[in-house]
Chain A
Amino acid sequence: MSESKPQVSRRDFLKKMASGSAVAATATAAPGMAISAARPKRYAMVIDTRRCIGCQACSVACKTENDVPLGETRSWVEYIEKGEFPNVRRSFLPRLCNQCEKPQCVAVCPTGATYKRQEDGIVVVDSDVCIGCKYCIQACPYGMRYINPKTGTADKCDFCLHRVQNGIVPSCVNTCQGRARIFGDLNDPDSEVSKLIATNATTVLRPEMGTEPMVYYIDADHADQRDAAKQGIYIRIETNRRQKERV
């Protein structure tokens, strides 16, 4: 569990930048450490699927915390069933917005309503600007976005920005029974996420899309119905949301 860190406000950051301490900090950082001078924080999540028991506590916590409308989900757990008795496997794949380094949704937004925050890299939607054209919904390779029926604007997971800004972890991380979801700052080499990524083989979802996700998985089953069909393996994937198929 990552410890809550005092928040750096934008003003503090600018002051630091002005005094050159950020540059100095970058210069003195260990070589090879990917530390971004452009962003004071780079929030990321590591999902250790070995610890996930598929209890859906994160899905429920998320819906409660963010008042997600009925039929929609910001974060959920997929159940992946494979094989035929006796050679079977059931695994769980927690899902949420990947807060990509190169977000497709941001690239296509015509109004600038969705953007990647300069201070921490979280991709957010400004529901006062969004017109609900659904372009971002089409552009997201992960199917993470939905139209909020109340506001008519695009909506998605934002790492619980309102919590993170106040130094506490996202709701799903807070509630996870098995500690499968770990949240933290990749710019801090001592954070739990940095250590986990350094010491584990991690994968991201759909890497060929070039989005550079900030959500890393340990031991995730990347099985897909279509891939399995080619190999003649029985596979069933439950996504627990309205759109029942991964597209």
Chain B
Amino acid sequence: MHELTWGLPVILYLFLGGMGAGAGAVSGSIFLRSGGGDLAGSSFRFARWGAMLAPVLVIIGTGMIVFELGSFQAGNYFRFINLFLTINLSPMSIGSWVLALFILVSLAYAYTFINRNAHPGDELQKLRKMLAWAMVPLGVGVALYTGILLGAMPARPFWNSPILAMLFLVSALSTGVAGILLVRALFGRKQVISKESFEHHSYILGSSDMLLIGLEILVIFLFVMYAHLTIGNVEAAVSVIMGGELTTLFWLGFVVLGLLLPAAIEMKYVMPTLLYQKEYSIPRTMEIVICALVLVGGFMLRYIVVIAGQVTGPTGI
């Protein structure tokens, strides 16, 4: 019988935190790329969706790990403050600081968008721009650190590789984009200013998502290839997805359902525009389906990685 030291709360944190960090970084980047959002249009509203999502998701995720703390469960509810009385080279220490900073900055960033009448060039624009500049590195930092945190331990051969942080980063960005696309598909159609620019932005997001999923497939390919070629402790650990108990979940639940399927659907819609400059149009249901698949894939990835790392260990004693 294996014990799971880190269970569902940690898995959900890695997923929600990554998604929120990704949404925040993507929002900041979209906002800045349109000249700091000075050009009126839906890129501003895009950034707005991301800005609203980021703090909510990350705060929910962070709440989950606080509840999971042993000290919290033993009744020392504020013991986690100790994280902020010191800083050392532990990935969790650095990560906590980055995470706290991200939460503060993303809250301020969301505040600049909170007003329904927020528009490019209003009185908060200067602050918004400044915060957007901070959102990108902080979002990338939070997404990266979740992978570094797991990767820092030789005792967990499944996690102990530099590619894991990269995988988590790409996955966080892709789930972040999918999150923005999803809320936009669900609630954004009502405020369409011009159908053309709306579709254009759908295309920008959809193609970015396709690119990110493509990258994720590459990173996973490297991970699996390495797993196939290695020996010893690492081989024993990765065998859990190469024929072991998590094989089906990994290959069907994550690779097929969370990567290949959304990538294939996205290609069908993106490619004509990308190659032949045809007009981009995607049915709203399809957009929702793709986003849901990407989000399920993102969750699956965290679930499989966290479980697999804990049910495997170094061999020999």
Q: Are A107 and B5 in contact (CB under 8 A)?
A: no
Q: State A243–B2 Cα separation when bound (angstroms).
A: 6
Q: Are A137 and B314 in contact (CB under 8 A)?
A: no
- Name the one of A93, A111, A134 contacting B83, with C-beta atoms under 8 angstroms: A111
Interface size class of A (residues with CB under 8 A): 35 or more
User: Interface stretch among B91-99, B182-190, B219-227, B289-297?
Assistant: B91-99
Give the residues in chain B near A111, CB-CB below 8 Å: 82-83, 85-86, 93
Give the residues in chain A near B3, CB-CB below 8 Å: 242-243
Q: Which of A100-158 contact B (CB under 8 A)?
A: 104, 107-113, 129-135, 137-141, 143, 147, 149-154
| Distance (whole angstroms) from the CB of B78 to the closest CB of chain A | 10
Q: Are B69 and A108 in contact (CB under 8 A)?
A: no
Q: Are B155 and A138 in contact (CB under 8 A)?
A: yes
Give the residues in chain A near B1, CB-CB below 8 Å: 243-245
From known contacts A140-B155, A209-B314, A246-B317, infer whether A131 and B2 are also in contact, taking CB-CB under 8 Å: no
A247 at the B interface (CB under 8 A): yes
Give the residues in chain A near B73, CB-CB below 8 Å: 132, 152
Which residue of chain B has its CB nearest to the CB of A207? Answer: B316
| Distance (whole angstroms) from the CB of B286 to the closest CB of chain A | 40
Q: State A210–B309 Cα separation when bound (angstroms).
A: 19
Q: Which of B263-317 contact A (CB under 8 A)?
A: 309-317
From known contacts A138-B5, A152-B76, infer whether A226 and B315 are also in contact, taking CB-CB under 8 Å: yes
Which residue of chain A has its CB nearest to the CB of B65? Answer: A133
Which residue of chain B has its CB nearest to the CB of A246? Answer: B317
- Name the one of A110, A141, A209, A226 contacting B90, with C-beta atoms under 8 angstroms: A110
Q: Are A154 and B70 in contact (CB under 8 A)?
A: yes
B71 at the A interface (CB under 8 A): yes
Give the residues in chain B near A132, CB-CB below 8 Å: 69-74, 79
B45 at the A interface (CB under 8 A): no
B35 at the A interface (CB under 8 A): no
Q: Are A138 and B317 in contact (CB under 8 A)?
A: no
Q: Are B69 and A131 in contact (CB under 8 A)?
A: yes
| Distance (whole angstroms) from the CB of A75 to the closest CB of chain B | 15
B75 at the A interface (CB under 8 A): yes
A208 at the B interface (CB under 8 A): yes
| Distance (whole angstroms) from the CB of B316 to the closest CB of chain A | 5
Give the residues in chain A near B153, CB-CB below 8 Å: 104, 108, 138-139
- Name the one of A131, A147, A205 contacting B82, with C-beta atoms under 8 angstroms: A131
Give the residues in chain A near B96, CB-CB below 8 Å: 110
Q: Which of A217-247 contact B (CB under 8 A)?
A: 222-224, 226-227, 242-247
The contact sample of 9 A-B pairs, CB cut-off 8 A, is A108-B153, A110-B92, A129-B82, A130-B79, A134-B5, A206-B317, A243-B2, A245-B2, A247-B311
Since A110-B90, A134-B5 are in contact, a sample of 8 more A-B pairs with Cβ atoms closer than 8 Å, ordered by chain A residue number, is: A108-B91, A130-B70, A131-B83, A135-B90, A138-B309, A152-B70, A152-B79, A226-B315
